[in-house]
Structure 1
Amino acid sequence: MTDKRYQVFISATFSDLREERAVITQTLPALHCLPTALEQHNQSLGTMVAIRRQIDESDYYLLLLGSRYGSLMPSGVSYTHMEYVYAATKQKPMLILMHENPDSRPAEFQEKTPEGRLKFGDFRKLLQRERESILYWRDARDLEMLLQQFTPELIRKHPTSGWVRVGKQGADKTLDLQKENESLRKRVLELEQEREKWLKGNALSSENLAKGEDPFEVQYKCRAYAGGNCQDIYAKSRLSWNELLVSFGPHLLQPQPEDIILSKINERLQSGALQEVQREYPKTHAVVDIQVTALCFNTIKMQFLSLGLLQKVSKPGDQRIWWQLTAPGERYLANVLNVRRITSRPAS
């Protein structure tokens, strides 16, 4: 008989829900669930990379909502809100636990500003509109009872693979699969090297390629918020090739997985996304989940590859795609980033 466990990502504000979070983390293990969460947010867009990875790896998502909207991302949307949006887009089975009467909670647990209270109210309305089943709680005891009743029901209605402890037979099969996988990985690497060699031998002259301060129109998808409404839209940002290189280049002095390039480009797009979206949707007050389109991302990678500034590298035992600046790429980036000395003229 297998001993299956399920990973549950817990999304909640921090200081106002300490007791309630403790109840959840103590109750779930008895229900064959492993609670996980990012306890502290460091107020950076890079935090979302870690959050998304944890949500991706989790079987279920649990949102605990008290009386606070939570700490804000640079876009103006809270991390808790963004975690919910991402889990919903990934279609994670979820439990929504919402306080029955948030205004009745102590003053220190309330939002301090009118803007915070407005965003919290809009978030509650959004959840009530998008979710058919919301569980309401008043105290920690309610939470324990709701979890004991509805967690098994969630698992039954939405079965997932979970985590299983395997015996010796399973371990032997895993070892065989690992050997087969390693053999296939080596063959893929050989083919990649052949492809790179062919591309270098048939590369266009860089004189004919856009580069430097030449502009490039980057298309991206995002979620735009206006009041309590949210919609997925496409937008465009006009950036130079130097601006794109500066966004991720400093992180590629050593080999990095492709996700790093993607996340850094998305961060660069985030800085101007609100103003760009407001040109077409003036009532938008926040823009989140910036994702450069696959076509644009592939174009950017191939352009820098063709310019000789970027190269693919292999990591033994790692199937991900890794990238690093070439030596000419490092010199070019250094030239772009160099701060020139200003020579003052003597007073006449």
Structure 2
Amino acid sequence: MDRRYQVFLSSTYEDLKEERLEVMKARLELDCFPCGMEYFPAANEDQWAYIRDLIDQCDYYIVVIGGRYGSTDSSGISFTQKEYEYAVSLGVPVIAFVHSAPDTIATGKTDKNALAKAKLDEFKTLVQTQLCKGWSNAHELGAVVSRSLTQLIKRTPRPGWVRADSLASAEASQEILRLRHLVDQQQEKIDHLKLKSPEGAEGLAQGAELFELEFNITLSARARSYNDPDRYIKKQASACHSWDSIYAAFAPYLLVENRENTIKTGIGRMLRDAHQHEILKSQKEYDLGSLAITEKSLQTIIVQFSALGYIELSTSQEERKVVRMAKLTPLGHKYLLTVTAIKTNTDVRKISSTKTSSQPAKHA
């Protein structure tokens, strides 16, 4: 059945008019329905509510980032970033296109405000944790969008839209419903099996058991210049952390498929928070530059949680290179809730209940 897909384009507007036109052409050439700010009504309704509704109906989402952060809402977040985060929260397949040579962008098309520049850099860092491509001019952008969207549609099928006269007859629909019911029953059995631990997992280290993480530290001396070769000190260290604390450090970032390097980044944040004070206690003239687990520790962790059935690995083709990807399995998602969800304090609950029940009754 012939399907067409609705694709939402998010970007700043005035500085990217030519680029938006190329992206629109790319979507039309792929028989997709373009959707973006060009189609926002001038009515006095809540614009953000209207944008959310459009993204809800879209099959795919594209964000293009040039040299501007864009107009912001009352909280200081640009509408481009707000749209991006909303699409990700819905699980809409997202692909980002970031200008690969920002220094070549015309001055009139870049932010002059330091705060806006900083927010733009933070936004770029955020989108680069997902599927991301580079571009340097409008023509190149149109070409890379066309290729990338074709691959995304093939790799991540969506419901799309079909002509009404292509729908099945009433008799065929009844048969489809019957078969769908059988499929749903089988799917329930499959989903149940997905939540079972792999055979032999009970014999693997996990939970509160400790694992020694090895990591590399770079310290920088505040009193020395950046060009001074003696400014930096590099050293290795190790620390023991439970498998649960390690899992909680990176698993929330794998609720949707993400680059394998996200695991390393999450654990690095945990180690920095846990050991920064201790590291700098005897190095008062230094700042902590970087802290990252070794490749050996990283691969051990990946193997361990794969064996436990919590994560699954795959590959993705990006910019002529193969990128390793990771995401939580259904079992891994369930275990993440067990590890990170806040538990109730039963003693406090009992006291609260006692106080409530002991209040004297009030009479009119």
Structure 1 length-normalised TM: 0.46
Bigger radius of gyration: 2
Structure 2 length-normalised TM: 0.44
